[in-house]
């Protein structure tokens, strides 16, 4: 880390849960910040040290329960319910309890399980690592402002806001990498998969449903409270899914407003950045042998299928799509299994019109695809929108049903069995038109400009004294999709 005069830029202390859907976009943001002259310190699982330092950022490892790395070590325990929970906790002492799971959890039950065992129980170790990093930065750069930047489900920055002893940064920003979880009077609770409805009668029902949600999420709330109090924070009053939006100084949602539900009661600290930041490859990618024939000089429709990096149950999406289109001569099905060394079951038969690869970068292939079939991870959703590619989303775990629900609400996918939905998208031009409309909306926005303007605004407010009142937009709009 280079010593930059305090009058130029603050130090950005980033902290991400070491789960690929969270840390990959945070690393992309870190790279942009470093490339534009920011000093960045990154806190995450120890397995990501090399990736962080290669960006030019310094690194502080989380130690204990929160130290795991889904890209380097996998424990494919078939009895573990959530695929994310199947990650080997790299530095977890052998005497520490492994999270108990259930087979094939789906919907809210899966999300609650992950909230407890990944996100809440990691809070104390994340807080400790953030404090270590803050002390290191304060000792080395005593006159520099430090802005803490975490992501949606990383709770490590909340304890000091809630009174835990320790060093406080000069400002805090949360980057939204999930569909917005925030409770609202204008729609049913997160996890229901139901669309918004702000009519007077529906608002009454929404209020009752939101109260019921707190009972359903009681195990997660209890784990959240326990984790906070274990590091000396006050007992929180707010629901944990609301606190991540209301406690930090700013919440920057990395999407465009047209793909997120309207909220008349959204906090003024909520801002929309337009989408995930794009990254430029440093060298020309190595293309597979079939690339020119199938992609650059294509004569058939391309159906791209990727199950994501977490769920490796190919019976869920990959194998059914292969079977559904195996006789089609007008379609090429390109399948990315999601990560290196992944493989189909040994008895799986690959049809002649299918191509299977371990991994294909989304930004390489999506511009050429006619439809993208995905489980509905938020990163997949965002990459498709950036390239104007229609989607079919078929996920049932984590927050994926909520991503699919927002896509349907925005006019993007077709809610039907995956094979039928692909045909509908291929033959009905309205889905491509809508995808291109959203692509145009996103291309007019500057995600990293919003992030950097937000950082600078917090620093300027700190110099004036006091907490910022989010009263105006700089390179975007506060609570841009509210009805106020």
- Rounded Cα distance, 169 and 458, in Å: 11
Task: Check: CB of residue 75 under 8 Å from CB of residue 83.
Answer: no
| Distance from C-alpha of 480 to C-alpha of 263, rounded to nearest angstrom | 10
The residue behind tokens 């509210």 is: 482
Residue 253's domain is classified under what CATH number? Answer: 3.40.50.2000
Task: Give the residue-averaged pLDDT of 248-267.
Answer: 95
pLDDT tens-place string over residues 49-80: 999 999 999 999 999 999 986 643 333 232 23
Residue 389 CA to residue 68 CA, distance in Å, equals 33
Q: What is the pLDDT of residues 4-24, one digit of tens each?
A: 444 479 999 999 999 888 999
The beta strand positions in 46-167, using DSSP E, are 58-62, 146-151
* Residue at 1 is within a domain: no
Q: Which residues pair with 372 in a beta bridge?
A: 304, 391
Integer Cα distance of 36 and 39 in angstroms: 9
327 & 202 share domain: no
- φ/ψ (deg, to 5) at 354: -115, 140
Are 251 and 174 contacting, i.e. CB atoms less than 8 angstroms apart? yes
Query: Domain check: are 59 and 130 in the same one?
Result: yes
pTM of the model: 0.86
pLDDT, residue 331, reads 95
| Average pLDDT of span 315-336 | 92
Please, which pLDDT band fits residue 464 given cuts at 50, 70 and 90?
A: confident
The boundaries of the domain holding residue 312 are 291-443
Both structure tokens of 126: 């994340």
Instruction: With a cut of 70, say whether residue 360 has pLDDT above it.
Output: yes
In a domain, 424, yes or no: yes
Q: What is the pLDDT of residue 484?
A: 30
Contact 67, 125 (CB under 8 A): yes
pLDDT for 282 equals: 59
| pLDDT at residue 395, rounded to an integer | 66
Q: pLDDT: is 69 or 440 the higher one?
A: 440
Residue 88 is assigned to a structural domain of this protein: yes
- Same domain assignment for residues 302 and 270: no
Pair 427, 461 in one domain: no
- pLDDT category at 108 given cuts 50, 70, 90 is confident
Indicate whether 84 and 206 sit together in one domain.
yes
Residue 63 sits in the same domain as residue 145: yes
Q: Would you tell me the crossing angle of helices 378-386 and 400-409 to the nearest 10 degrees?
A: 30
Task: Write the burial class of residue 372 (CB in 10 Å: 0-12 exposed, 13-18 middle, 19+ buried).
Answer: buried
pLDDT digits (tens, 9 = 90+) for 210-248: 999 999 999 999 999 999 999 999 999 999 999 999 999
- Identify whether 284 is part of a domain: no
Could you tell me the pLDDT band of residue 457, with boundaries at 50, 70 and 90?
A: very high
Strand, coil or helix: 16:
coil
Same domain for 340 and 436, yes or no, is yes
The string of pLDDT tens digits covering residues 111-134 is 899 999 999 999 999 999 999 999
SS3 423: helix
Q: Determine, yes or no, domain membership for 254.
A: yes
Looking at the fold, whether 243 and 387 belong to one and the same domain comes out as no
pLDDT at 335 over 90: yes
Evaluate whether residue 75 is within a structural domain: yes
405-411: long-range contacts, CB 8 A cutoff, minimum separation 24: 405/193, 405/194, 405/195, 406/179, 406/259, 406/260, 406/261, 407/259, 407/376, 407/381, 408/195, 409/195, 409/196, 409/261, 410/258, 410/259, 410/434, 410/438
Give residue-wise pLDDT tens across range 291-314.
999 999 999 999 999 876 655 678
Mapping DSSP onto H, E and C, the string for 88-106 reads CCCCCCCCCCCCCCCCCCC
pLDDT in tens, 178-220: 999 999 999 999 878 788 889 999 999 999 999 999 999 999 9
Which tokens go with 250?
């700013």
**Segment 327-342 mean pLDDT:** 89
Average pLDDT over residues 471-478: 37
**How confident is the model over 239-259, as a mean pLDDT?**
96
Confidence of residue 278 (pLDDT cuts 50, 70, 90): confident
Question: Is residue 270 located within the same domain as residue 402?
Answer: no
Q: How many domains is the chain partitioned into structurally? A: 2
Is 286 among the domain residues? Answer: no
> What percent of the chain lies above the pLDDT cut of 70?
82
- Say if 192 falls within a structural domain: yes
Q: Which two tokens stand for residue 127?
A: 């807080």
Rounded CA-CA distance 378/360 in Å is 17
Q: 436 with 461, same domain?
A: no
Backbone phi, then psi, for 147, in 5-degree steps?
-105, 125
| Whether residues 319 and 456 fall in one domain | no
Contact 17, 44 (CB under 8 A): yes
37 and 100 inside one domain: yes
């Amino acid at each position: 880390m280079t010593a930059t005069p305090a009058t130029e830029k603050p130090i950005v202390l980033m902290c991400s849960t070491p789960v690929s859907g969270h840390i990959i976009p945070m690393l992309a943001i870190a790279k942009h910040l470093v490339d534009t002259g920011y000093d960045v310190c990154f806190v995450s699982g120890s397995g990501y040290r090399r990736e962080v330092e290669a960006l030019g950022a310094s690194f502080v490892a989380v130690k204990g329960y929160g130290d795991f790395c889904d890209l380097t070590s996998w424990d494919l325990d078939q009895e573990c319910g959530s695929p994310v929970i199947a990650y080997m906790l790299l530095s977890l002492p052998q005497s520490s309890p492994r999270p108990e799971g259930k087979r094939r959890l789906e919907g809210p039950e899966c999300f609650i399980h992950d909230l407890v065992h990944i996100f809440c129980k990691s809070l104390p170790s994340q807080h400790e690592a953030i404090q270590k990093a803050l002390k290191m930065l304060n000792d080395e750069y005593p006159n520099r402002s430090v802005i803490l930047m975490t992501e949606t489900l990383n709770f490590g920055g909340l304890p000091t806001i809630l009174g835990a002893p320790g060093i406080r940064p000069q400002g805090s920003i949360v980057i939204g990498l999930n569909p917005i979880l925030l409770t609202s009077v204008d729609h049913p609770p997160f996890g229901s998969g139901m669309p918004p409805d702000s009519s007077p009668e529906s608002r009454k029902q929404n209020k009752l449903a939101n109260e019921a949600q707190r009972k359903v999420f009681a195990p997660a709330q209890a784990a959240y409270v326990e984790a906070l109090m274990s590091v000396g924070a006050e007992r929180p009053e707010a629901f944990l899914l609301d606190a991540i939006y209301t406690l930090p100084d700013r919440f920057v949602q990395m999407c465009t407003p047209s793909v997120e539900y309207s909220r008349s009661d959204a906090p003024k600290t909520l801002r929309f950045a337009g989408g995930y930041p794009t990254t430029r490859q440093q060298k020309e990618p190595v293309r597979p042998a079939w690339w020119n024939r199938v992609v650059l000089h294509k004569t058939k429709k391309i159906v791209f299928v990727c199950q994501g990096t977490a769920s490796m149950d190919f019976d869920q999406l990959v194998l059914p799509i292969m079977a559904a289109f195996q006789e089609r001569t007008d379609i090429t099905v390109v399948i990315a299994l999601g990560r290196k060394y992944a493989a189909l079951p040994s008895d799986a038969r690959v049809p002649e019109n299918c191509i299977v690869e371990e991994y294909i970068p989304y930004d390489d292939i999506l511009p050429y695809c006619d439809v993208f079939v995905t489980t509905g991870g938020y990163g997949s959703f965002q990459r498709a929108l950036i390239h104007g590619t229609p989607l079919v989303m078929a996920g049932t775990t984590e927050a994926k049903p909520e991503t699919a629900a927002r896509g349907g609400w925005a006019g993007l996918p077709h809610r039907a069995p995956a094979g039928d939905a692909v045909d509908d998208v291929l033959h009905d031009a309205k889905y491509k038109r809508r995808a291109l409309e959203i692509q145009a909306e996103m291309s007019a926005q500057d995600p990293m400009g919003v992030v950097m303007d937000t950082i600078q605004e917090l620093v300027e407010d700190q110099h004036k004294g006091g907490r910022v009142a989010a009263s105006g937009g700089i390179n975007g709009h506060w609570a841009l999709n509210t009805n106020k």
